[in-house]
Structure 1
Amino acid sequence: MFYAVALAVAVVDQLLKIAVRAYMEVGESAALWNGRILLTFYENSGAARSSFQGYGRLFIIVGIAVIAGLLIARRKGHLKGFMPEAGAALLIGGAAGNTLDRILFGKVTDYLVMGEGILNAADLALSAGSLLLLLHVIVQEWKERTVYSRFDSR
């Protein structure tokens, strides 16, 4: 299931980006579902929130390192349980989607307007995966403190 989720995220991300590049011009906007979803085709040659513009190719290394690090952590048994496995799968899929864009085009295709930013499905997966891993760490820390506090109070 782990690899299926990671692959599904990367494939869905790439299919959506292919559709945006095929049917929209850079800078063009379109509203879907009675204006509930706004799409704007943007090409980001940097990182999150358009930081580091022009250095997108350097983030190929970051993407590959994230993917490799998570796969190694999983293989060594550091990612056990639903939250860390799901979080890592989402992170790998998102990193793969954006890294593939950087390898092929030197920039990432963004299209989903959210608040003041424009992102893509890979970015959403990266955020969700990070949130799941963070939540796992918080829950584990809480469990450990609860167990230790029980022993300390005796």
Structure 2
Amino acid sequence: MLFYILTLIVVLIDQGSKWWVRDHMSVGEHRSVFDPYLHFEHYQNTGAAFSSFQGYGKWFAYLAIVVVGVIVYYRIKGALSGIVMDLAAGFLAGGAIGNALDRLIYGKVTDFIVWGSGSGIMNVADIAINAGVVLLVVGMLLRSWCERRSYSFK
């Protein structure tokens, strides 16, 4: 149940924040939040991470659907069980769905979060995907460690 709740929460926060940015900021507009550490800048990305593959965003929407399908498949098989893996899967699926919705509805992804002085621009879905990857690695390491110690980790 944690997986589904977290997925939904990530999608709602991601889509809500993107709606706010599209509704209250012009493309290219900059808003200070905690300068110099964090600011918002409205950007529309028609490609993938780091503005690569511009114009091919719809293909990444289809890839996101496949990724979510793979996550659900491995959850059903029991390979992604336990709280850490549920969190990882929820963040990954929620982030993938959030960006896929943008790509399918608008043909581009709304990015707006800038950390520091130009370390790239992202959105809530991107942060969730990064958190999901970190938790997936942590979960795999914990599971491996527990199996070597003959403990059950679930």
- Give your verdict on TM over 0.5: yes
Q: Are positions 1:142 and 2:131 aligned together?
A: no
> Where in structure 2 are the equivalents of 1:104-115 lying within 5 Å?
104-115=105-116
Q: Are positions 1:100 and 2:101 aligned together?
A: yes
- 8 A Cα contact 2:37 2:115, kept in partner: no
Change (3 A) 1:137 1:40: same
Rounded Cα–Cα distance in structure 2 between residues aligned with 1:13 and 1:124: 10
> Where in structure 2 are the equivalents of 1:7-22 lying within 5 Å?
7-22=8-23
> Where in structure 2 are the equivalents of 1:27-106 lying within 5 Å?
27-33=28-34, 36-106=37-107
Q: TM-score, normalization: structure 2? A: 0.89
Determine the structure 2 residue equivalent to 1:129.
Answer: 132
1:127 aligned partner, one-letter code? N
| Pairwise CA distance, 1:33 | 4.5
Deviations 1:103-152 (A, max 9, x none): 001110000002420000000000001110011112222333455xxxxx
Q: TM-score, normalization: structure 1? A: 0.89
Rounded Cα–Cα distance in structure 2 between residues aligned with 1:144 and 1:55: 42
Pick the structure with greater CA Rg.
1
1:22 aligned partner, one-letter code? D
1:117 aligned partner, one-letter code? G
Rounded Cα–Cα distance in structure 2 between residues aligned with 1:110 and 1:104: 15
Q: Are positions 1:4 and 2:13 aligned together?
A: no
| Pairwise CA distance, 1:26 | 0.7
1:80 aligned partner, one-letter code? S
Rounded Cα–Cα distance in structure 2 between residues aligned with 1:51 and 1:143: 39
**How many residues are paired up?**
147
Unpaired stretches in structure 1, ≥5 consecutive residues: 148-154
- 8 A Cα contact 2:30 2:39, kept in partner: yes
RMSD: 1.4
Over the matched positions of the two proteins, sequence identity in percent amounts to 43
- Name the SS of the counterpart of 1:42 in structure 2: strand
Rounded Cα–Cα distance in structure 2 between residues aligned with 1:119 and 1:28: 15
